[in-house]
Amino acid sequence: MSKVALVGCSSYELYQVKKALLRGFSYFGGIKRVFQNKNRILLKPNLLTGENIEKAVTTHPSLFQGVAEILIENDFVCGYGDSPGFGSLETVAKKAGLYAPLKNLKIEKADFNGKQEVSYPKALQNRQFTLAKGVFHFDAILSLPKWKTHGLTRITGAVKNQFGCIPGLLKGEFHFKLPDVLHFSRMLVDLNLLLKPDFYIMDAIVAMEGNGPRNGRPRFMGLLAFSHDPIALDATLSRLVRLDPRMVITCLEGEKGGLGYWQENAIELVGDDFSHFYQPDFDVQREPMISYRKEGLLRSFRNLLLSKPIIDFSKCQACGVCIEFCPAQPKALYWKEKNRIPQHNYKYCIRCYCCQELCPHGAIRIKTPSIGKLLKR
Ligand code: SF4
Ligand code: SF4
């Protein structure tokens, strides 16, 4: 059995968040018990990119500050790090509201620029990773994911949060090498098995629905969720938004790999009642989607069947971010008229949805052809 604690928190007022955090830790015997025999704790928030806090793209600074204060009050040494999809850690952290806690509290900045090669022979699929060096300077990881929708993996929560431990542009290489969601999800599971974060606190006070993980709508859920098990946490949050966890490939593959449990009868829910947080109309991709395959019959019918990124030209500011970060080789985006209109070339597009994820102006959305919705992944 894995335990998941659901704790209501009606705002990001620091005193309320701290109260909810202390209650959450209490279901696991308190923070000293959670980090038994550990001293140096690395906070891993979701700092996808520098956006205003209200847009709910990044882990809220009150959660970050509340956790850091509780750790320091309990004599732990605290650090933080992430490798944003776009922008430097300093710039993104500042925009995400972390400037005050980082200035006022003793929180080390972990080295997320330096790289370290690591082998993981027991992996399901990926036996070699290049990780941020700073991860290895701490005794434990406390993962602080944000609950959001995602174009490729449907949701980004506890498991996907560790993708930020892969430095900079190396993340794009994984998208290129593992374009289909099954292999990409297996890689995420291996990454989590290797890093083994000790504990997870999901920021779902204000989550994101719709065109996530950067350009969706903030959605109030009033919830902080706690667990040692990232699969149980993602599966529980999925059920809360009426998404069958079997649609979340990291849940299925994670259980196979021994990372945790997704089935309801293997999860012990404690804290507030599940029904307080249930949001059946949460806007998330629930329909089956056809996954990209490099080879096979599907290749010929790809553009007919697969979901694809579409640019809304009325919103596009011609900034070029989508072209810069497209990991396909050759790139599946190009300037139709120099500096005026980006255009997709679906022949090369591997459906990683990095362009939709990183577009700073919310100009790219994913369109699923109706014929594609009829066929199972
Ligand atoms: S990232 Fe978005 S706004 Fe920038 S060029 Fe691409 S579609 Fe346009
Ligand atoms: S066009 Fe977008 S979805 Fe297609 S490969 Fe490039 S970044 Fe990925």
Separation of CA 321 and ligand 1 centre (Å): 6
CA–CA separation, 144 and 133 (whole Å): 19
Q: What's the CATH number of domain 298-374, 3.30.70.980, 3.40.640.10, 3.40.50.150, 3.30.70.20?
A: 3.30.70.20
CA–CA separation, 303 and 172 (whole Å): 22
Q: pLDDT of 223-264, one tens digit each?
A: 999 999 999 999 999 999 999 999 999 999 999 999 999 999
Q: Say what the pLDDT of residue 190 is.
A: 98
The alpha carbon of 319 is separated from its chain's Cα centroid by a whole number of angstroms, namely 24
Q: Does 330 sit behind a cis peptide bond, omega within 30 degrees of 0 on the bond before it?
A: yes
For residue 293, pLDDT over 80 is answered with no
Separation of CA 181 and ligand 2 centre (Å): 14
Q: Say what the pLDDT of residue 324 is.
A: 94
For residue 128, pLDDT over 90 is answered with yes
Secondary element (H or E) of residue 92: helix 89-95
Q: How confident is the model at residue 374 (pLDDT cuts 50, 70, 90)?
A: low
For residue 169, pLDDT over 70 is answered with yes
Q: pLDDT of 85-100, one tens digit each?
A: 888 999 999 999 999 9
Ligand 2 contact, 351 CB (< 6 A): yes
In this structure, the chain runs to a length of 377
Q: Which atom of ligand 2 is nearest to the CA of 348?
A: 5
Rg (CA), the chain: 20
Q: Say what the pLDDT of residue 325 is.
A: 93
Q: Which of 86, 211, 214, 311 to mutate to test the pocket of ligand 1 (most atoms within 8 A of CB)?
A: 311
Q: Say what the pLDDT of residue 295 is.
A: 60
Instruction: Compute the average pLDDT of residues 65-80.
Output: 98
Taking a C-beta distance cutoff of 8 angstroms, is the pair 85, 171 a contact? Answer: yes
For residue 377, pLDDT over 50 is answered with no
Q: How confident is the model at residue 299 (pLDDT cuts 50, 70, 90)?
A: low
- 364 φ, ψ (degrees, to nearest 5): -120, 130
Instruction: Compute the average pLDDT of residues 194-213.
Output: 97
Q: Say what the pLDDT of residue 65 is.
A: 98
Instruction: Compute the average pLDDT of residues 135-152.
Output: 97
Ligand 1 contact, 319 CB (< 6 A): yes
Instruction: Give the closest residue to 103 by CA, choosing from 75, 48, 73, 65.
Output: 65
| Residue identifier of the C-alpha nearest atom 2 of ligand 1 | 359
Q: Which CATH superfamily is domain 2-276 in?
A: LarA, N-terminal domain (3.40.50.11440)
**In the chain, domain spans:** 2-276, 298-374
| Residue identifier of the C-alpha nearest atom 8 of ligand 1 | 316
CA–CA separation, 21 and 201 (whole Å): 9
Q: Which of 310, 361, 366 to mutate to test the pocket of ligand 1 (most atoms within 8 A of CB)?
A: 361
Q: Which residues of 217-229 are buried (b: 16+ CB within 10 A; e: fewer)?
A: eebebbbbbbbbb
Q: Say what the pLDDT of residue 376 is.
A: 46
Do 2-276 and 298-374 share a fold? no
**pLDDT: is 295 or 10 the higher one?**
10
Q: Say what the pLDDT of residue 276 is.
A: 98
Instruction: Compute the average pLDDT of residues 38-55.
Output: 96
Q: How confident is the model at residue 371 (pLDDT cuts 50, 70, 90)?
A: low
Ligand 1 contact, 342 CB (< 6 A): yes
The contacts of residue 74 (CB under 8 Å, 6+ apart) are: 31, 32
Taking a C-beta distance cutoff of 8 angstroms, is the pair 237, 147 a contact? Answer: yes
Q: How many CB atoms lie within 10 A of CB 340?
A: 10
- 136 φ, ψ (degrees, to nearest 5): -85, 0
Strand pairing category for 140-144 and 341-344: unpaired
Q: What percent of the chain has pLDDT over 90?
A: 86
CA–CA separation, 320 and 214 (whole Å): 16
